[in-house]
Amino acid sequence: MQLHGAALITSVWTGDGVDGLESTVTPKYGSTAFTGHSPPRIYCASVLLLLLVTPRVDSSWWYIGALGARVICDNIPGLVNKQRQLCQRHPDIMQAIGEGTKEWIRECQHQFRHHRWNCSTLDRDHTVFGRVLLRSSREAAFVYAISSAGVVYALTRACSQGELKTCDCDPHKRGRARDTRGEFDWGGCSDNINYGIKFAKAFIDAKERTVRDARALMNLHNNRCGRTAVKRFMKLECKCHGVSGSCTLRTCWMAMADFRKTGDYLRRKYNGAVEVMMNQDGTGFAEANKAFRKFTKSDLVYFENSPDYCLQDKSAGSLGTAGRVCNKTSRGTDGCEVMCCGRGYDTTRVKQITKCECKFKWCCAVECKDCEEAVDIHTCKAPKRAGWLDQT
pLDDT digits (tens, 9 = 90+) for 23-60: 333 333 333 333 344 444 444 444 344 444 444 445 46
Give the pLDDT confidence of 177-231 residue by residue, as tens digits: 988 888 999 999 999 999 999 999 999 999 999 887 889 899 999 999 999 999 9
With pLDDT > 70 as the criterion, what percentage of the chain qualifies? Answer: 79
Query: How much is the mean pLDDT over the chain?
Result: 81
Which of 272, 306, 340 represents a domain boundary (last residue)? Answer: 306
**Are 187 and 152 part of one and the same domain?**
yes
Q: Under the phi-then-psi rule, with left for phi > 0, alpha for psi from -120 to 50, and beta for the rest, what region is 357? A: left
Residues 185 and 91 in one domain: yes
Q: Quick one: 237 and 331 in the same domain?
A: no
Per-residue pLDDT at 144 exceeds 60: yes
Domain of residue 290, residue span: 9-306
| Region of poorest pLDDT, from 31-40, 114-123, 301-310 | 31-40
Q: Is the pLDDT of residue 328 over 90?
A: yes
Q: Is residue 265 part of a domain?
A: yes
Closest alpha carbon to 64 in 98, 106, 92, 99: 98
350, 266: one domain: no
Split at pLDDT 50, 70, 90, the class of 385 is: low
Whether residue 1 is contained in a domain is answered as no
What CATH number is associated with residue 341?
A: 3.30.2460.20
Which residues lie below 8 Å from residue 298, measured CB to CB, with a gap of 6+? 225, 228, 229, 269
Distances, alpha carbon 297 to alpha carbons 104, 167, 273, 308, 356, in Å: 22, 28, 11, 27, 51
Same domain, 197 and 282: yes
Q: Is residue 3 part of a domain?
A: no
Q: Per-residue pLDDT averaged across 328-339, rounded?
A: 95
pTM of the complete model = 0.79
Read off the pLDDT band of 19 (50, 70, 90): very low
**Residue 201 and residue 147: Cα distance in Å, rounded?**
12
Between residues 322 and 316, the one the model is more confident about: 322
Based on the domain organization, do 359 and 293 belong to the same domain? no
The CA-atom distances, in angstroms, between 349 and each of 41, 373, 379 are: 63, 10, 11
Quote the pLDDT of residue 21.
36
> Does residue 231 lie within any of the structural domains?
yes
Choosing from 306, 335, 351, the residue where a domain stops is 306
Dihedral-angle region of residue 369 (phi above 0 means left; psi in -120 to 50 means alpha; beta otherwise): beta
Q: Is 187 in the same domain as 267?
A: yes
Residue 335 and residue 277 in one domain:
no
Is 342 buried (19+), middle (13-18) or exposed (0-12) by CB count in 10 A? exposed
Whether residues 245 and 372 share a domain: the answer is no
The pLDDT, as a whole number, for residue 384 is 83
Q: Does 155 share its domain with 237?
A: yes
pLDDT digits (tens, 9 = 90+) for 69-87: 455 787 777 888 999 999 9
| pLDDT more than 90, % of the chain | 55
Strands 182-186 and 249-255: parallel
Q: What confidence score (pLDDT) does residue 58 get?
A: 54
Specify the pLDDT at position 70: 52
How many structural domains comprise the chain?
Answer: 2
